[in-house]
Amino acid sequence: MNMVKLAVIFYSMGGTNVQLSKWAAEGAKEAGAEVKVFKVKELAPESAIEGNEAWKATVEKTKDIPEVTPDDLEWADAIIFSVPTRFGNMPSQMKQFLDTTGGLWAQGKLVNKVVSAMSSAQNPHGGQEATILSLYTTMYHWGAIVAAPGYSDPVTFGAGGNPYGTSVTVDQDGNMVEDVEAAVKYQAKRTVTVAGWVKKGNQ
């Protein structure tokens, strides 16, 4: 069987979702997937970024990561999204990208993509679950297959127990509070496994 092709797509201001995406890519590769990591286009003005050292550092650190395009979604069998919360919703940068996928959607090219999502916030109840669910709402319209971790492995409990997708709390200094690396890698492996089943069934 051909390798599962996975796109990991993130938006990150402080670097947390860059790290989550890297762990997801590592886990997916361990599961035998071909992996590409992408960022979504930054929409904030340069003046806003310049005034925030962490944000500026993240932009610099991710400058060589390609910006995702609809073609990358068509290429992928599976997609993992990683975003911070914005008032319990996904950031506008991610929403803007998803809003450009109408052409693929109209052609049925997003049907049966296997998808999963991760999130972060500065409070334990800062909207992580709602943010993941906001992403999944779009995925249902695509006709995608959501591969949430649920409680399919005990590693989920060690990372805070979010069944919708791995989420992490970030303190005021930008450090992750929970240890979520193993949960992220498990979620990526589960996504690849489910995508493999779908791909095999379509051959």
Terminal C-alpha separation, the chain: 9
Give the number of domains in the chain: 1
Of 105, 85, 108, nearest to 95 by C-alpha is 85
The string of pLDDT tens digits covering residues 22-57 is: 999 999 999 999 999 999 999 999 999 998 999 999
Q: In this structure, how many other beta carbons lie within 10 angstroms of the beta carbon of residue 177?
A: 14
Can you give the pLDDT at residue 203?
63
What SS3 class is residue 77? coil
- Whether 1 shows a pLDDT value over 70: the answer reads no
What SS3 class is residue 71? helix
Residue bearing the bigger pLDDT, 172 or 30: 30
Is the C-alpha dihedral spanning 177, 11, 60, 23 positive or negative?
A: positive
Q: Distance between CA 180 and CA 166 in Å, rounded? A: 7
Q: In this structure, how many other beta carbons lie within 10 angstroms of the beta carbon of residue 19?
A: 19
Structure pTM? 0.96
What CATH number does the domain containing 182 carry? Answer: 3.40.50.360
| Cβ neighbours for 185, distance < 8 A, ≥ 6 positions apart | 23, 24, 26, 27, 30
| Cβ neighbours for 155, distance < 8 A, ≥ 6 positions apart | 182, 183, 186
Q: In this structure, how many other beta carbons lie within 10 angstroms of the beta carbon of residue 15?
A: 16
Can you give the pLDDT at residue 199?
93
The string of pLDDT tens digits covering residues 125-165 is: 999 999 999 999 999 999 999 999 999 999 999 999 999 99
Tell me what percent of the residues of the chain surpass a pLDDT of 90: 95
Averaged pLDDT for residues 58-67: 96
Alpha helix segments (H runs only) across 31-107:
46-50, 53-61, 70-75, 92-98, 102-106
The residue segments making up the domain with residue 14 are 5-202
